[in-house]
Chains A and B, each alone.
Chain A
Amino acid sequence: MTLDMGQKLLRMESITKSFPGVKALDGVTFDLNVGEIHALVGENGAGKSTLIKILAGVYPFGDYGGQIALDGSARSFNSVRDSEVAGIAVIYQELSLVKDLSIAENIFLGREPRRLGIINWQELYGRAQKAIDDVRLRIDPLTPVRNLGIGQQQLVEIAKALSQNARILVLDEPTAALTDAEVETLFGILNDLRARGVAMIYISHKLDEVFRISDRITVLRDGQTIDTAAAKDTDESRVIAKMVGRAVDQIFPESKHERGEVIFEARDVTVADPSVPGKLLVDQVSFAAHKGEVLGIAGLMGSGRSELLMAIFGAHAGRTAGKVFVNGTLVQIKNPNHAIEHGIGFVTEDRKRYGLILDQTILRNMTLAGLRKLSGRFITDEDAEAAAGERAGNDLRIKTNSVYTVVGTLSGGNQQKVVLAKWLLTNPRVLFLDEPTRGIDVGAKQEIYAQINRLAESGLAIVLVSSELPEVLGLSDRIIVLHEGRVTGEFTRAEATPEAIMSCATGHARATA
């Protein structure tokens, strides 16, 4: 069936879905036209994922209220398979490729072209080649997926979906792990697909990207459709206001940092790539952190930001050189325990992987790094821990009814606060923050920002790494910029502009204050 551009393809009407005790969706209406990119935005918990899971058949027909119509006729999907057959493909944030199979095998997994039950490899490779040509991926289809970057893996997923004749593509936070260059490639392909009549639902927290790519934007809040508008008829601040239900004129709170003496200094830190001999991930980077100040480290993905902090913290697998001074004295940090003893705290990126033990309680997670200080060297003191944990929870406004709640059940923002509390309970003098607001909603971000300012005001030295430029600009008193492991720029808050930082981060310019 061919459809004309702009014609109504999908309509979800009065969709309602309840979980025990919560109404996740309450009469949501959403439609999608042929050749359209329709963005779905909203805070975490607004109901985006639930809506998508209904469309994808994860919650079968009868499990929700309301109607889904495709090409004008009502449909009921009882399984993911039903939804796929109807031409709906979802590219989830966590990619679902088999890492040790090749690109071609992944694309045709479970529907390999066969003759008498035997796989016809030549046909499979030929068709796989066509599929990845469609997404402009110039890689041998025999390459194992493991060897691809995240951006390339995503393109493989898209190629897979298209090879199954998907007409509706749902992209869930597709740029969360991509470099800027990869984002450009992805957007080029999405534009191509749109021109070919593929309809796309685009879910993202990054509003600048949403405005760049989408035709229409629908805002969900608390399980309800708040607004659907053409992208050209609205703007970021209006969308944010609708997402949070209040006007956000100032995401970054006013701060009154008072710069004190240098408490931490790293000199000529160099980190070798453990997997590529001769390659340096970080090349002679030096910086100093002052009491009461936020030092921002900007840089694109792969610029060596996280590796720099990991190496200083004694947690990087690669060979490391350089000197670290705390309070003016040279210190040897061979493992994270040394770093903690010298007063360094490190809120690592990717809280689920590096920060939290998801099936343990808030309290257990909070006290893990500072356990011996809080509780005694060998025998633990449950009550001392509980008291410290409750205080930290109150200070950071963690929303839960007890510190004995399992951390995995909390929202992303509250999980991030638990990681922050864990490090504050080690009583640090300098606090590294690596991507402290990744994947959390606007409201929670603001609270984290307020905490960062509060900590700086209380005299802590803060080193902030973030791939979100507005965040670095909005919080830092000074900013250094990394490009391919080297410092290419240094700015004070007054001098820093997004353009200046971006040109240093991309290696176009060098600047030193």
Chain B
Amino acid sequence: MTDQTTPRIKLRTSALRAYTMLLALIAIWLFFQWATIDAAHPFGIFLGAINFSKLLQQTAVTGVLAVGMLMVIVSGNIDLSVGAVVGLAGGVAAMTQDRLGLAGCLAAAIVTGLLIGALQGCLTAYVNIPSFIVTLGGLQAWRGLILKLSKGATIPVELPFFRSLGKDFLNRRIGIALALIAIVLIILTNLRRNRARVKHGLKTIRTASTVMRIVVPSLVIVAFVVLMNQADGLPIPVIFLLAVALAGAFLTANTTFGRYLYAIGGNPDAARLSGINLKRYILAAFCVMGALAGLASILHTARVGSASPDAGTLMELDAIASCVIGGTSLMGGRGTVFGAVLGALILASLDNGMSLLNVENWAQYVVKGGVLVIAVGFDMYGRSKT
């Protein structure tokens, strides 16, 4: 360590898996694009603005759940109850919309998720019941509770603005404005970062590298917004997903909370002896998961247009699969928000693409299950070789 090196991109195992999966995602997209070519669509349907917009809307709910799930899994735990929480919180929102109004019923959904997360987090962290058991119990109990509260009936969403959260689009001009703001922020953070490095006596990042760090994400953002505007504009649920993903990425990568989660999952003994309060941070992870499950329930209920007692069934498994496909270790300590959202996108792409091709239902299940196992299999193979 005689010379001060600038941080290079380190391809850690989890990051490596995420990059491999990025390639896999592109391959999946190109395949579906090719497979959907027909006489009416000489370039294929899949990546067209309209279908792509739909694909992202389908990703939103799973993606939001995956971000929360990632934090729980990184801390060395699991949450099997999120599907049932989506059902319960969505039901609560639909049932309270008359009495509490729009803001009230949405808040009720998020608070329901948060309280459940807090309860399950307490039982895991402070009573030392394994999270697998706590949330397996939750999976059944919360589903039972919504059956009781709704008396088994499906409740339609009546408030128009509530519905629009799941279905509407952002005005195209606002979308462009958001893109410009994002680009300005990217430029500012990169410049600030170099000043900070000088202040701490570290080598500055090379100008070429700084330019790349600004240009590449900016181009992606512009391309994305232009594509979305070719359809109906940025879909509202996708805005939520992006916001949650950015917040989650910041929380895991740039806060003590995130750092401690990885430490707790990586080696709980070492974390405890380094002065970290394990219980508090595990509880916090479950609370974040719960609140995000509440948010996901709003997006889901709004998109479907009603809250049914079996809403959200098996969503926990999609969320877990997203994390794992994106490189998260179920042993804890490893995984990224980027990877988890990527995993959700892969699952949604498979759903969407196979539906376009009219693949039969049974085959869709088989393919999705196979992709999950193959993704982990490739990773294990790669790891054993190094």
Contact = CB atoms under 8 A, between A and B. Distances in A.
The 10 closest A-B pairs by CB, nearest first: A387-B200, A357-B266, A337-B275, A369-B274, A393-B1, A340-B275, A336-B275, A357-B267, A368-B274, A383-B196
15 contacts: A336-B274, A357-B267, A357-B271, A357-B333, A359-B266, A364-B259, A368-B270, A378-B255, A380-B254, A381-B196, A384-B196, A384-B200, A402-B1, A404-B7, A422-B274
B151 interface: no
A372 interface: yes
Size class of the contact patch on chain A: 35 or more
A386 B1 contact: no
A78 B334 CA distance: 35
B4 interface: yes
Interface in A232-272: none
A353 B272 CA distance: 12
A422 B7 CA distance: 20
A435 to B, nearest CB: 14
A308 to B, nearest CB: 15
Contacts of B255: 378-380
Contact of A353 (B8, B13, B263, B269): B269
Contacts of B333: 357, 359-360
A209 interface: no
Nearest to A371: B256
A248 B273 CA distance: 36
A357 B5 contact: no
Interface in B183-205: 193, 196-197, 199-202
Interface residues of B, number: 38
B168 to A, nearest CB: 34
A371 B266 CA distance: 16
A348 B273 contact: yes
B281 interface: no
B46 to A, nearest CB: 37
A134 B339 CA distance: 56
A360 B1 contact: no
B173 interface: no
Given A337-B276, A337-B277, A369-B275, A358 B267 contact: yes
A66 B10 CA distance: 38
B200 A355 contact: no
Contacts of B271: 357, 368
B41 interface: no
Contact of A354 (B4, B7, B259, B270): B270
Contacts of B1: 390, 393-394, 398-403
Given A353-B269, A379-B256, A402-B1, 20 more contacts: A313-B273, A336-B272, A337-B277, A340-B275, A353-B270, A354-B270, A354-B273, A355-B273, A357-B263, A359-B13, A364-B263, A371-B256, A378-B257, A382-B7, A382-B254, A386-B7, A386-B202, A390-B1, A393-B1, A404-B8
A390 B193 contact: no
B32 interface: no
Interface string B1-23: 11011011010110000000000
A377 B5 contact: no
B269 to A, nearest CB: 5
A242 B334 CA distance: 43
A56 B282 CA distance: 44
Contacts of B267: 353, 356-358
Interface string B269-293: 1111111110000000000000000
B162 interface: no
Interface string A336-347: 110110000010
B259 to A, nearest CB: 6
A375 interface: yes
B342 to A, nearest CB: 21
B338 interface: no
Contacts of B270: 353-357, 368
B262 interface: yes
A51 B257 CA distance: 45
B275 A406 contact: no
Contacts of B199: 383
Interface of B: 1-2, 4-5, 7-8, 10, 12-13, 193, 196-197, 199-202, 254-260, 262-263, 266-267, 269-277, 333-334
A344 B272 CA distance: 15
B273 A336 contact: yes
Given A339-B275, A402-B1, A383 B200 contact: yes
Contacts of A390: 1, 4, 202
A165 interface: no
Contacts of B8: 402, 404
Contacts of B272: 315, 336
B299 to A, nearest CB: 28
A361 interface: yes
B256 A375 contact: yes
A335 interface: yes
Nearest to A402: B5
Contacts of B5: 401-402, 404
Contacts of A403: 1
Contacts of B10: 361, 404
B2 A386 contact: no
A337 B275 CA distance: 4
B202 A387 contact: yes
A371 B256 CA distance: 7
B155 to A, nearest CB: 39
Contacts of B256: 371-372, 375-380
A369 B276 CA distance: 8
Given A381-B196, A402-B1, A360 B266 contact: yes
A368 B263 contact: yes
A356 B273 CA distance: 10
Given A359-B334, A378-B256, A404-B7, A315 B200 contact: no
Interface in A64-112: none
Contact of A379 (B12, B254, B274, B334): B254
> Which residue of A355, A360, A377 has the most chain B CB atoms within 10 A of its CB atom?
A360
Given A379-B255, A393-B1, A403-B1, A346 B273 contact: yes
Contacts of A378: 255-257
Nearest to A390: B4
A401 B2 CA distance: 8
B2 A394 contact: yes
Contact of A406 (B4, B12, B260, B277): B12
Contacts of B258: 380
A380 B259 contact: yes
Given A371-B259, A394-B1, A387 B7 contact: no
A399 B217 CA distance: 35
Contacts of A393: 1
A403 B7 CA distance: 9
Contacts of A369: 274-275
A359 B2 CA distance: 23
Interface string A392-427: 011000111111101000000000000000100000
Contacts of B197: 383
Nearest to A360: B266
Contacts of B263: 357, 360, 364, 368
Nearest to B200: A387
A380 B277 CA distance: 17
